[in-house]
Amino acid sequence: MKLLEYAKTGSSNLARSKSRTFLTVTAILVGTFTLAMVTALSQGVRHYIDAQIQAYGQPNTMSVQLKANTKDERRSANNVLEYDPTHSAATGTVYMTDADVAAVKKAAGVTGAYPVYKVNPDYIQAGSGKKYVVQLQANYPTANNPEVTAGKYPDPADKTAIVLPYAYIQTLGFASAADALGKTVTVGLSQAGDKPGQVLRSETVQFKVAAVASDTLHAPGATISYLEQADLASYQTAGKLKAEGLFATTDPNQTSAQTASMKSALDAGGYSAQTFADETAHFNTVINMVQLGLSAFAGVALLAAALGIINTLLMAVLERTQEVGLLKALGMRPRGIFAIFLSEAVSIGFWGGVAGVGLAIAIGPLIDRILLKSVFKGFPGTHILLYPATDMIFIIAGAMALGLLAGTLPALRAARLDPITALRHD
C-alpha cells in the first residue's frame, strides 16, 4: 500500500464513527480557533500600532540626541556643567549646533539631518470659529509619508501647507475630512517675555489644509513644513534657535548590520540615535508578550484536545482489533497498520486545524465591525484582524503535528497486536 492509500484509508475510517470524530475535531478546533484569532488580532494590532507610530515618524528615520545631556566630560567632578557659549544654555540642556548637523550627516548611512525646533503656538482657528489649542510638528523630507485619510501629503518645502490631525476636523467645524481640504486655517503664536504672562509680540499665520492625517490613539499635532517650523521657532525665540535634537533620514536599503554600525559610529561621535525600528520594537515586545500569553491558553486547549485524539484512537483500535488481525493475517506489515491509525490521527488534526482557522476567518468581519465601533474607532480601513497565510498554514500544520504525536501511542498499540489474539477478539 502506498502512502496516499494509507492516508485515504485513515480518512475514510474517520467517517465510521462520525459523532466521535466530530467531537474530537471540535476539541482541536477550540485550540486552533483560539490560536488563529490571537494571531489575527496580534498581527492586526501590530499593523495598527505601526500606523500609530507613523504619525510621529516613518521607517528609515531616526531621532538623534546629544549624549552630552546624560554623560559629559565637560562636567566637573561635582556634576556642574562648564559654561560653553556654543553648546550650552542656563538650564544645563546642551543644544545642537550646525556642526552637530554636519557631523551626523557625515555618518555612513545617514541621508539627511535636520535640527528639531520646538514651536509653541497659542491656538488654531478655522475662519472665525472657536480657537483651539494645538501642537505643531515639522514635516521633514523623507522617503515615505504617513497614511492620510484625505488629500495628498504636501511637499516638505511647501511653507503654506498644513496636515491636520483627524481629531481637529469636526472640532474646527468641517463637515468631513474631504471638506477640509484646500480650506484655510489660522495659527496664532506669540513671543513670551521673561515675566509671567508677558507677551512681547504676537502674529497669525495662514495655512492651507493639504491633507488630513489618519486617526491615532494619541492625537499628534498638526504638521507643517520644516522650513516654516524653523521660521516660527525663530520668531518665538527672536532668532535664538535652539535644537534639542536632530531628525535624520537613513538609507532605506540599509541592512540591520549597517544600521548597527551607523549607530555605533554616531555613538562614538557623542550622539545617541533612536531609529524608527527601535521605537516600534518597544511596542512589539509588549504585543509579543500578550500574544505569547494568549497562545499559551490555546496551547492548553490543544493539549487537552491531544488527549482526546489519543482516547478516540484507542477506542478505534479496540473496535477494530479483529480487522487489524485480518489485515495482519493477509500480510499487512505492522508499519502498515501503524500508518493507517497514524494517518487517522493526522487527519483529525488537519480537519481540526482547517475548521479552527476557517471559523476564525469566517467570523473575522463580525469581530472587525465590533472593534471598529469601539476600541479602534476612527481607524482608517475596514478591518483590524489580519490573517497572514503563512501563519494560518503553520497553525494547520501544527495541529497535524499534534495529531501525529498523539496518534503514535494508539497506532503503536495497533501495530503490535498479535494477529491470532486480534482475530479472536470480539
Q: What are the residues binding another protein (CB under 8 A)?
A: 1-2, 5, 16, 322-323, 326-334, 336, 418-420, 423
Pairing of strands 61-66, 222-225: unpaired
Q: Of 282 and 333, which has the nearer Cβ to another protein?
A: 333
Q: Of 16 and 106, which has the nearer Cβ to another protein?
A: 16
> How distant is the alpha carbon of residue 426 from its chain centre?
59
> Residue 342 CB, nearest distance to another protein (Å)?
17
CA–CA distance, 419 with 330 (Å, rounded to integer): 10
> Residue 26 CB, nearest distance to another protein (Å)?
24
> Residue 339 CB, nearest distance to another protein (Å)?
12
Q: Of 8 and 242, which has the nearer Cβ to another protein?
A: 8
CA–CA distance, 195 with 186 (Å, rounded to integer): 27
Residue where the block lists cell 480650506: 183
Q: Of 180 and 342, which has the nearer Cβ to another protein?
A: 342
Q: Of 13 and 60, which has the nearer Cβ to another protein?
A: 13
Q: Of 173 and 336, which has the nearer Cβ to another protein?
A: 336
Q: Buried b / exposed e across 254-285, counting CB within 10 Å, b at 16+?
A: beeeebeebbebbeebebbbbbbeebbeeebe
> Residue 314 CB, nearest distance to another protein (Å)?
20
Write the CB contacts of 131 (distance below 8 Å, at least 6 apart in sequence): 122, 123, 124, 125, 188
Hey, what's the torsion of the CAs at 269, 271, 276, 282, to 10 degrees?
A: 120
CA–CA distance, 33 with 355 (Å, rounded to integer): 8
Q: Contact 33/359 with Cβ under 8 angstroms?
A: yes
> Residue 410 CB, nearest distance to another protein (Å)?
20
> Directed axis angle between helix 334-362 and helix 3-14, to 10°?
60
Q: Contact 345/13 with Cβ under 8 angstroms?
A: no
> Residue 335 CB, nearest distance to another protein (Å)?
8
Q: Of 1 and 199, which has the nearer Cβ to another protein?
A: 1
> Residue 327 CB, nearest distance to another protein (Å)?
7
